[in-house]
């Protein structure tokens, strides 16, 4: 009896140590994940307004950015990252190779877009992420989970001009920028369900939200750009409110904002302070 009791005590002690290890490990993991989310998001990670298969997603953490991955759309519904001004002579490494992402449910290969007429369009951009977050982060931007089908006139011209303006014009005006970008699909899922490149559903448009995360006077710009652009249109032709993007995507951005601040940041279209007119018609480097 004494030996059995002693054995149970030893086993109980080991179990207690194991439970303590799991609890401490989970706490450290949660702290680390929260730190990454704080580094790449402002006022909360984007989520869905109402649960639906087309808005449900899981968060993939990459070096330099987060992605809200949808296994239904086979797209990231959003990517979130922060950038700051870099020196004019900042150089980044050579373009990494595209690579498949084992975390996606569907096997999306590096050649999945071949012959489709669509570019492998970056959501988290190569240059901005590399210049601010380094080589490892740049490599992660070439994961296929960060790609989305974009028409060449959009990807190489209008969208590229907006990405260029973020780093060359907006970032130097402010200490830090929060950027969220992603695809927009038709309202009815069945209208687009077979419009795919391989497993990847083709979006009808793309959005980009740019925020100066100031606690007192938050500034925000938001754009929606359709696939069928010529590429030389003025950027300000595509200005919208964040509320409109939420309406078209079913997502909820900056969920930790108070109702009062949300009404201003997300509901109003204000360009004061951005000097958008200086770059709205500036040609891109590939035009």
Q: Which residues are catalytic?
A: 122
**φ, ψ of residue 148 in degrees (nearest 5):** -150, 150
Please answer whether residues 46 and 70 qualify as being in contact, where contact means their C-beta atoms are separated by less than 8 angstroms: no
* Tokens encoding 226: 């359709």
- Among 67, 73, 74, smallest CA distance to 129 is for 67
Tell me the three-class secondary structure of 246-258, residue by residue. HHHHCEECCCCCC
- Among 267, 172, 249, 254, smallest CA distance to 207 is for 249
In the chain, the N- to C-terminal Cα span, in Å, equals: 86
DSSP code at position 62? E
- Whole-number Å distance between alpha carbons of 17 and 21: 6
- Whole-number Å distance between alpha carbons of 269 and 245: 12
Q: How far is CA 282 from the centre of its chain?
A: 25
């Amino acid at each position: 009896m004494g030996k059995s009791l002693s054995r149970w005590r030893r086993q109980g002690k080991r179990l207690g140590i194991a439970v303590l290890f799991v609890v401490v490990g989970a706490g450290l993991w949660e702290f680390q994940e929260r730190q990454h989310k704080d580094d790449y998001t402002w006022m909360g990670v984007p989520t869905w307004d109402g649960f639906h298969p087309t808005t449900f997603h899981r968060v993939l953490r990459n070096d330099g950015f987060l992605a809200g991955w949808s296994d239904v759309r086979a797209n990231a519904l959003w990517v979130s990252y922060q950038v700051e001004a870099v020196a004019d002579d900042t150089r980044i490494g050579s373009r990494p190779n595209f690579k498949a992402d084992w975390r996606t449910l569907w096997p999306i290969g590096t050649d999945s877009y071949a012959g489709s007429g669509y570019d492998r369009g970056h959501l988290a951009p190569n240059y901005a992420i590399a210049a601010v977050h380094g080589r490892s982060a740049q490599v992660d931007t070439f994961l296929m989970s960060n790609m989305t089908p974009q028409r060449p006139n959009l990807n190489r011209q209008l969208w590229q001009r907006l990405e260029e303006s973020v780093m060359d014009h907006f970032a130097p005006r402010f200490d830090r920028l929060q950027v969220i970008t992603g695809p927009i699909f038709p309202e009815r899922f069945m209208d687009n369900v077979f419009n795919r490149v391989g497993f990847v559903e083709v979006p009808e448009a793309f959005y980009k939200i740019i925020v100066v995360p100031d606690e007192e006077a938050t500034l925000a710009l938001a754009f929606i750009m359709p696939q069928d652009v010529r590429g030389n249109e003025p950027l300000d032709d595509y200005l919208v409110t964040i509320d409109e993007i939420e309406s078209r995507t079913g997502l909820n951005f900056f969920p930790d904002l108070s109702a009062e601040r949300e009404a201003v940041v997300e509901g109003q279209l204000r360009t004061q302070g951005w000097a958008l007119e200086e770059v709205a018609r500036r040609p891109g480097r590939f035009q």
